[in-house]
Amino acid sequence: MLYKIIAVSFLVAGAAQAAIQPYRLDYRQRESIGATQIHLKQDLNNRYPGLNLAIATVVAVDLSAKSFQGNGQAYLAIGGQNVSVANIPGNPQNYLNPNPATFTTVRLGNPTRVNGGTWIANLQGRMKLATITTRQDQTQELNAFCAYQINVWVANFAGKLFTIN
């Protein structure tokens, strides 16, 4: 009996560590000029219906993009607060080349784990956007699921343990 309880506790610990989930959005080399806002929560809900973003926290956003002059900027804003900024490199020759190798992936982190409100990628400058991959921590949801499963398992086990034949 003890080995089953230990195995379940390892399962719960592993679920909490594996809770960071990547979700990829394809923008098909969409061009943006000037200031552009990408509403990540809205795009994630459109691409992944049923995804529970109410309890998710953005850990990082990986942006695959290129700029025309090498001076593009990307900002990650969570709940109206800029939490990260990155330069988007590029040059005119690569800008016109559709080859995926001409895009650079930059990471916009959320080091303080600010949560709530909108998730927006703000782009500045002339650039092309290939993909955005959000990395979200959904530990709360997985911990609740694991707690429910453990309660069911313990109730079933206790019922079998105390059944009188």
CATH number at residue 102: 2.60.120
Q: What is the pLDDT of residue 115?
A: 82
Q: What is the pLDDT of residue 39?
A: 96
> In terms of pTM, does the model score above 0.75?
no
Asked whether 66 and 128 are in contact (CB, 8 A), the reply is yes
Residues 126, 159, single domain; the answer is: no
Residue 4, number of CB atoms within 10 A of its CB: 10
Total count of domains within the chain: 2
Asked whether 128 and 31 are in contact (CB, 8 A), the reply is yes
How far apart are alpha carbons 164 and 107 in whole angstroms?
A: 60
Residues 159, 127, single domain; the answer is: no
Q: What is the pLDDT of residue 94?
A: 96
Q: What is the pLDDT of residue 165?
A: 52
Per-residue pLDDT of the chain (165 residues; tens, 9 = 90+): 444 433 343 344 444 444 788 999 999 999 999 999 999 999 999 999 988 888 888 999 999 999 999 999 999 999 989 999 999 999 999 999 999 999 999 999 998 888 888 999 999 999 999 999 999 987 654 444 444 455 555 445 545 554 555
Q: What is the pLDDT of residue 1?
A: 47
Residues 124, 97, single domain; the answer is: yes
How far apart are alpha carbons 4 and 21 in whole angstroms?
A: 28
**Which structural domain range is residue 3 located in?**
1-19+138-165
Type and span of the H or E element at 58:
strand 57-67
| Cβ partners under 8 Å of residue 150, min gap 6 | 8, 12
Residues 80, 8, single domain; the answer is: no
Q: Quick one: tokens of 79?
A: 């709940």
Cα-Cα-Cα-Cα dihedral sign, residues 133, 134, 135, 136: negative
Residues 103, 151, single domain; the answer is: no
